[in-house]
Amino acid sequence: MYRILKKRQLTPVTALYVIDAPLVARTARPGQFVILRVDEGGERIPVTITDFDPEAGTVTIVVQQVGKTTHWLAQHGEGDTLADFAGPLGTPVALPDRGRVALVGGGFGAAAILTIAKELAKRPEVTVDAIVGARTASLLILSDEVGAVVDRFLPCTDDGSRGYHGLVTGLLEQEIAAVGYDLVMAIGPMPMMRAVAEVTRPHGIPTYASMDPIMLDGTGMCGACRVRVGGQNRFACVDGPFFDAHQVDFDEVTRRNKMYRHEERLALERWHQHQGSCATVG
Amino acid sequence: MAMISLKKQPMPQQEPKVRATNFAEVPLGYTLEMAVHEATRCLQCQDPQCEKGCPVSVPVRDFIGLLAQGRLEESIRTMKAVNRLPAICGRVCPQEEQCEARCVLNRSGRQPVAIGRLERFIADWEREHGWVAADPPERRPERVAVIGAGPAGLTCAGDLAAMGYQVTVFEALHAPGGVLTYGIPEFRLPKDIVYADVARLEAMGVEFRYNVVVGRTVTVDALLDELGYDAVFIGTGAGLPKFLGIPGENLAGVYSANEFLTRINLMRAYRFPEYDTPVKVGKRVAVIGAGNTAMDAVRTALRSGAERAMIVYRRTEAEMTARAEEYEHALEEGVEFYWLTNPVKVLGNSEGWVKGLECVRMELGEPDESGRRRPVPVPGSEFVLPCDTVILALGTTPNPILINATPGLETNRRGCVVADEETGATSRPGVFAGGDVVTGAATVILAMGAGQRAARAIHRYLDEKRQAAAAD
Ligand SMILES: Cc1cc2nc3c(=O)[nH]c(=O)nc-3n(C[C@H](O)[C@H](O)[C@H](O)COP(=O)(O)OP(=O)(O)OC[C@H]3O[C@@H](n4cnc5c(N)ncnc54)[C@H](O)[C@@H]3O)c2cc1C
Ligand SMILES: Cc1cc2nc3c(=O)[nH]c(=O)nc-3n(C[C@H](O)[C@H](O)[C@H](O)COP(=O)(O)OP(=O)(O)OC[C@H]3O[C@@H](n4cnc5c(N)ncnc54)[C@H](O)[C@@H]3O)c2cc1C
Ligand code: SF4
Ligand code: SF4
Ligand code: FES
Full DSSP string of B333-396: TT-EEE-SEEEEEEEE-TTSBEEEEEEEEEEEEEE-TTSSEEEEEPTT--EEEE-SEEEE---E
CB distance A226–B243 less than 8 Å? yes
Quote the pLDDT of residue B456.
Answer: 96
Ligand 2 site, residue B215, Cβ cutoff 6 A:
yes
φ, ψ for residue A99, nearest 5 deg: 110, 180
| pLDDT at site B319 | 85
Residue B411 pLDDT: 96
The pLDDT value given to residue B1:
45
Q: Determine the average pLDDT of the residues in A173-180.
A: 94
**pLDDT exceeds 70 at position B73:** yes
Check if A32 has its Cβ closer than 6 Å to any atom of ligand 1: no
User: Which of the listed residues A16, A33, A43, A47 should we mutate to test ligand 1's pocket, taking the one with most ligand atoms within 8 A of CB?
Assistant: A47
Q: Counting every residue, how long is chain A?
A: 282
- CA distance to partner chain A, nearest, from residue B53 (Å): 32
Inter-chain touch B273–A226, beta carbons under 8 Å? no
Q: What chain A residue is nearest to B239 in terms of C-alpha separation?
A: A221
Residue type, A117: A
Contact of B252 with chain A, judged by CB distance below 8 Å, is answered with: yes
Give contacts of A233 with chain B, Cβ < 8 Å. Answer: 243, 245, 249-250
Of A26, A258, A266, nearest to B273 by CB-CB distance is: A266
Q: Which ligand minimizes its atom distance to the CA of A188? A: 1
Q: Residue by residue, what is the 3-state secondary structure of B259-304?
A: HHHHHHHHCCHHHCCCCCCCCCCCCEEEEECCCHHHHHHHHHHHHC
Mean local confidence (pLDDT), A60-80: 94
Within an 8 Å CB–CB cutoff, is residue A219 touching chain B? yes
The strand ranges marked E within chain A are: 2-11, 14-20, 33-37, 45-48, 51-53, 58-64, 81-82, 84-89, 99-106, 126-134, 152-157, 164-165, 183-187, 207-210, 226-229, 232-235, 242-244
pLDDT per residue as tens digits for the range A5-53:
999 999 999 999 999 999 999 999 999 999 999 999 999 999 999 999 9
Ligand 4 atom 4, closest CA: B45
Is 60 exceeded by the pLDDT of residue A280?
no
> pLDDT at position B114, please?
96
**Cβ atoms of residues B230 and B430 within 8 Å:** yes
Under the banding of pLDDT at 50, 70 and 90, the label for residue A276 is confident
Contact A222 B258 (CB under 8 A): yes
Q: pLDDT band for position B112 (50/70/90)? A: very high
Longest CA pairwise span in chain A (Å)? 61
pLDDT value of residue A281: 42
pLDDT in tens, B223-270: 999 999 999 999 999 999 999 999 999 999 999 999 999 999 999 998
B216 contact residues in A (CB cutoff 8 A): 27, 87-89
Pocket-testing residue among B1, B60, B96, B118, ligand 4, by greatest number of atoms within 8 A of Cβ: B60
**Residue B470, pLDDT score:** 85
Ligand nearest to the CA of B116: 3
Interchain proximity A86–B241, CB inside 8 Å: no
Cross-chain residue pair A221–B249, CB shorter than 8 Å: no
Calculate how far, in angstroms, residue A45's C-alpha sits from the geometric centre of ligand 1: 6
CB-based pocket (< 6 A), ligand 4: B 42-45, 48-50, 60-61, 103-105, 113, 115
Amino acid occupying residue B399: N
A88 preceded by a cis bond (ω within 30 of 0)? yes
Inform me whether the C-beta atom of residue B138 falls under 8 Å from chain A C-beta atoms. Answer: no
- B273–A contact, CB cutoff 8 A: yes
This prediction has a pTM of 0.94
| B174·A37 Cβ contact <8 A | yes
Tell me the C-alpha distance between A158 and A164, whole Å. Answer: 8
The residue of chain B nearest to residue A23, with distances taken between CA atoms, is B217
Q: What is the mean pLDDT of chain B?
A: 93
Q: Which residue of B has its CA nearest to A22?
A: B217
Q: Give the β-pairing of B207-209 and B308-312.
A: unpaired
Residue B354 near residue B387 (C-beta atoms within 8 A): yes
Is pLDDT at A180 greater than 80 in this prediction? yes
Q: Are A239 and A32 in contact (CB under 8 A)?
A: no
Which residue in chain B is spatially nearest to A253 when comparing CA positions?
B250
First vs last C-alpha separation in chain A: 27
CB < 8 Å to B213, chain A? 86-87, 89, 218-219
Compute the distance from residue B144 Cα to the ligand 3 centre, in Å. Answer: 28
Contact between residue A216 and residue B263 where contact means Cβ atoms under 8 Å apart: yes
Find out whether A155 and A164 touch, Cβ atoms under 8 Å: yes
pLDDT of B133 reads: 73
Q: What is the pLDDT of residues B377-426, one digit of tens each?
A: 999 999 999 999 999 999 999 999 999 999 999 999 999 999 999 999 99
- Residue B204 has what DSSP assignment? T
Mean pLDDT over A198-204 rounds to: 96
Q: How far is the CA of B157 from the centre of ligand 5 (A)?
A: 27
Other C-beta atoms within 10 Å of B82: how many? 18
Helix, strand, coil proportions of chain B in percent (round to 5)? 40, 20, 45
Ligand 3 pocket, residue B83 CB under 6 Å? yes
Inter-chain residue contact A260 with B280, CB threshold 8 Å? yes
8 A C-beta contact, residue B176 and residue B158: no
Q: Summarize chain A as % helix, strand, coil (round to 5).
A: 30, 30, 35
Hey, of B223, B226, B277, B288, which one would you mutate to test binding to chain A, going by the most A CBs within 10 A of its CB? Answer: B277
Distance from CA of B268 to the nearest CA of A (A): 8
**Buried (b) or exposed (e) across B206-216, using 16+ Cβ within 10 A?**
bebebbbbbbb
Q: Which residues contact B377 (CB under 8 A, 6 or more apart)?
A: B342, B360, B361, B362
For the residues A45-67, what does the mean pLDDT come to?
96
Residue B2 has pLDDT above 60, yes or no: no
Residues of A whose CB is below 8 A from B249: 233
Identify all chain B residues contacting A84, using CB atoms and an 8 Å cutoff. Answer: 174, 210-211
- Other residues' Cβ atoms within 10 Å of the Cβ of residue B430: 18
Q: What are the CA-CA distances from residue A132 to residues A10, A136, A196, A199, B194 (Å)?
A: 15, 11, 12, 15, 49
Give the per-residue SS3 of B425-448.
ECCCCCEEECCHHHHCCCCHHHHH
CA-to-CA distance for B223 and A171, rounded, in angstroms?
A: 48
* Three-state secondary-structure class, residue B238: coil
Looking at residue B3, what is its pLDDT?
A: 66
Please, what sign has the CA dihedral across residues B5, B8, B14, B20? negative
Q: Going by C-beta distance under 8 Å and a sequence separation of 6 or more, which residues neighbour residue B333?
A: B16, B19, B20, B299, B302
* Residues A229-253, mean pLDDT to the nearest whole number: 95
CA-CA distance, B340 to B355, in Å (whole number)?
21
Report pLDDT for A278: 61
| Digit-coded pLDDT (tens) for A262-274 | 889 999 998 888 8
What per-residue confidence (pLDDT) applies to B22? 86
| CA dist B306 → B285, B310, B335, B338 (Å) | 6, 10, 10, 17
Question: What's the gap in Å between B289 CA and the centre of ligand 5?
Answer: 21
How far is the C-alpha of B113 from the C-alpha of B99, rounded, in Å?
9
Instruction: Give distance in angstroms: CA of A195 to centre of ligand 1.
Output: 20
What average pLDDT does range B3-12 have in this prediction?
Answer: 84
Question: Nearest residue on chain A to B262, judged by CA atoms?
Answer: A222
Mutation site, A1, A2, A23, A250, interface B, largest B CB count within 10 A: A23
CA of B155 to the centre of ligand 5 (A): 27
Interface contact A217-B173, CB threshold 8 A: yes
pLDDT tens digits, residue range B354-370? Answer: 999 999 999 988 888 77
ipTM score above 0.90:
yes
Distance between terminal CA atoms of chain B?
63
Contacts with A223 (C-beta within 8 Å, 6 or more apart), sequence order:
A235, B241, B243, B256, B258, B259
Please check the confidence at residue B449 and state whether its pLDDT lies above 50: yes
Given this model, what pLDDT does residue B373 score?
82
Is residue B404 within 8 angstroms of chain A, CB to CB?
no
Task: State the Cα angle at B176 between B219 and A3, rounded to 5°.
Answer: 70
